[in-house]
Every structure is written in structure tokens, then in C-alpha cells.
Amino acid sequence: MKNARAIIKKIFFSLLFLYSVFFVLGSLFPPVLAHLKFYDLSGKITSVFMFSCHQQPDRTFWILGYPMALCCRCTGVYLGCAASSALAVFNRFKINLKMFILFAFLSILDVFINYGLGKRLNTGNVTRFIAGILFGIVIVAILNYLINMKGKNDEIY
């Protein structure tokens, strides 16, 4: 039973890692392609990400004079998920409750400052990126906890 759970955990976090890396690397291609004058391809790749991010140019990192396909916070979330899930694959992802609460609080605080206060305060793109990384770590921490959680009827699984 313990072996099956370990295999499922490795597969799950490997897939999450690949998914997250796809988004991080995929969001880097459109500005590079636009810089190389492949505007149609750049636009098509950017449109792939439009259902996962608002893509507001003022909340996006710019590379070579063109915006990335994901905003700073989403880029951070996917980067945090990628790094954390890579660690989880090898059972190296460890986060204590205090760090978890701190990361979750800082992530929520950034969103609250930007949206909850009527958009009066702007924390900036670097802060959004860092908050996204922290939130990505929180997501993987929750998933890791749920996968490691033992139920009453653990032998049934």
C-alpha cells in the first residue's frame, strides 16, 4: 500500500511539474517570437494562455520589448508549483505549518491589497511575482498534505 501511494505521488507531482514548466516556458516564447518578427505565431501562442490568465500588459513582465503571455503573478504561481513539485517528486518538499501560514497570508495579502482595496494600491510586478511563487508553494503543500494523508480505511486504497 505504501509503495502504491509513493508511485502515485511521484507520477502526480511529475505531471504537475511538466504542466507548470509548460506554462512558464510557454509564456516566454511569444515575446521572443515577436522580437524575431513572427507576430502570427506569437499571437497564437499567447492566445493559448488567455484562459488561464488575464494577460494585462501593465501587470506582465516584458522581454525584448514585448509582454510575456502570463502576468507576473501567474508566472510566479507556475514557477512556484514547478519548483515545489520537482522537490515533491524526490520527497524533498518539506514546509512547516508556520511557513505555510506565512506564505498563504502573504499571497492573500497581495491579492487583497491589489483588489480588495478598490485597486487604490499597486504592489508592483515584482511583488506580484514573489506572491505568486509563494502561492505556488502553498498549492503544492496542500496537494502534498492531501496525498500523504491517511484515511480511516487506509488499507482499502
pLDDT in tens, 25-73: 999 999 999 999 999 999 999 999 988 888 888 899 999 999 999 999 9
Segments making up each domain of the chain, as ranges: 2-156
**Rounded CA separation 46/155 (Å):** 46
* Average per-residue pLDDT for the chain: 89
pTM: 0.88
Residue 119's pLDDT band (boundaries 50, 70, 90)?
Answer: low
Sequence-ordered alpha helix ranges (H) in the chain: 2-35, 39-48, 72-89, 97-111, 125-148
Q: Which residue has the cell 497581495?
A: 110
Q: How far apart are CA 41 and CA 93, in angstroms?
A: 37
Amino acid at 39: Y
The predicted pLDDT at position 2 comes to 67
